[in-house]
Structure 1
Amino acid sequence: MVKQITINKFLELKDKIALIDVRTPAEHEHGHVPGAFNLPLFSNEERVKVGTTYKQVGREEAILLGFDLTGSKWSGFIKEALIIAPDKRIGVHCWRGGMRSGAMAWALDLYGFEVYVIQGGYKKYRGWVHQQFEHPYKLQILGGMTGSGKTRILQQLKKMREQVIDLEDLAQHQGSSYGSMNKMVQPTQEQFENNLAEQLKNTGPQKKVWVEDESLTIGKRSIPNTFWHQMRNAAMIDIKVALQQRVNALAAEYGSLDKHFLMESTERIRKRLGPEQTKYAIEAIMEGRMRDFVKIVLVYYDKTYRTGLSKRNAAQVFSLELNDTDIATQARHLLNFTANTVIY
């Protein structure tokens, strides 16, 4: 049986029904519904051939070419679908809910699957994604200078069943020139947005959502404007951590990284750091003096943070000193502070 359902209806069923994306591998890699399996009807090259035939010859010839190209693939499609959905309940989508998803749905239905086709396909899903950034959220922004341990505190808050959106984890970047940590690979902008929308969907509207203070861009990924403006207009808790504590934390974190990566990353901020300080920082890296290196670059990052902080509404910035180094204790202190402070 084939059922045509809206994207909103499917998302209600998403945890119960596997989803296959029948677009090409390239389309899927560029952006897909989180958790969707790619079962491409056409390869990247085949899709180009069909599209060209459609434009230059016509719809009917394109359909015939499509059947020629997929003729020997159908048993393989069904076998893969059985692995993905052994209960024979499966969702299907293509770009606009047209011929590709229709053909796959027909074949799976013929075999005995219960098939749900998403009306409007991935294009409709992308519209839903953008809608998520328009919804109002009870954001609670966590700020603090580089090395304050904001990410670790957010992770601890999540363990304590607080609602947390970790933008740096979603973007696979820690936000600075060193943010890739020489190992993280950022998703496409489209996939970053899809993953963010998925997390926002799962937040409760009546409960605060913790988010780290970020600039508009994280590495090469941009926070959707409507959501970022909500972040900028929300109250922020500016945590204060001793300088030496921040230096020690960053030195430990960066100490194991490749020296060439650290030097190249430092060179990228030469204009803002200054030629003399850049030289000293690189010498410190080469000699393994990580604390000295961190102290030098923190001058720049602290200045950048203070500049961003000055652009916020001062009445919505609340300072909190965290003297304890234990993350669980810091998180509890933070929650006690928000529970006993009028934050608006």
Structure 2
Amino acid sequence: MKIYLDNIIFSKVKNGGVSNYWYELIEYLEKQNQDELTYFESIDAKENFHRKKLNLSSQSIKEVKSDSIHRFMPISYTSDEKLIFHSSYYRGLKGCKNKIEVTTVYDFIHSYYSSFPKKQLHNFLKFNAIKRSNGIICISHNTYNDLNKFYALKKNQKATVIHVGVSDDYFPIKEYTLKEQQFITDKKLTDDFILFVGGRTGYKNFDFVVSVLNDNPQLKLVIVGGGEITEEEKKLFSDDALKRFTHLRSAENFELNVLFNLARALVYPSSYEGFGIPVVEAMRAGCPVIGLNNATIREVAENSAVLLDTLSVSEFNAKFSNLNHSDFRSSAIEIGLEASKNYSWEKCSRETREFYDSLDL
């Protein structure tokens, strides 16, 4: 099979979940060595963290532009051959009359939470990609349900759910290595903290996590990623709580795994997610998850997460206290470990390749 992959996500971001997803798919297809793979990418793609790990043949790469204008325009490429075209981020391909186009839909966050003009630009890009696609991959059942809410699939379109994976770098640590111990010492980590991972924009409800910290003087908070803590965010903290949080701008997988292993819980009160990779990473590392009760968290965490019906500090305190009971905590961890086995990159990539086969070339 001739498969043409658009690596635009490597130019769009330097790191992140979508570029990791795309890296894992390419890595799998390259190792299978059963298809003729061609890549569209621009020179700056190699600045991406995950792209740097790929050793792609220069003969397989067709250079295209991916600047702020061209990322909104379809790639021009002429071919009469039958081929699969799959873009990493909603870009089209023109000039190939015998192509089968595949789009991965990650979420509908912009449809729910963005405002003009960002919402209109993103939706224009995404819904045009959906309209012209023969096959559509949704990374969760929640995303699939949103797809059907916002778009009426045509008879000749096929949509499926393929869950993304989680790295094997996350696991319960039985004995810390010297490298891990040094990380713990350097960051002055103890086991009396809750963990917050990722972006802190409005729907992520970071302000709620700060309210929890303000109300629990015995707790500390470790924040990973999401950019620098802004002055506005600092105003959310009480004077005492300002002394009880640590922010790590980034963390390598082994560092994040240590944090999951030490934390009392991952607090993930996001109102909406396409998938919620940190939730499964925590589960795989044996870290309990406290999340807002929404469709994606219920889907991904199954019965392992402690779910909040409201963003209430009193409700959080009551349910968090349950994690201090060893039987309850052990049960949550065990269920999470078992559920996390459902999510692997090998499974995700294999099902994607099988989906290509299911489309009529």
Q: TM-score, normalised by structure 1?
A: 0.29
Greater Rg by CA: 1
- Structure number with higher strand proportion: 2
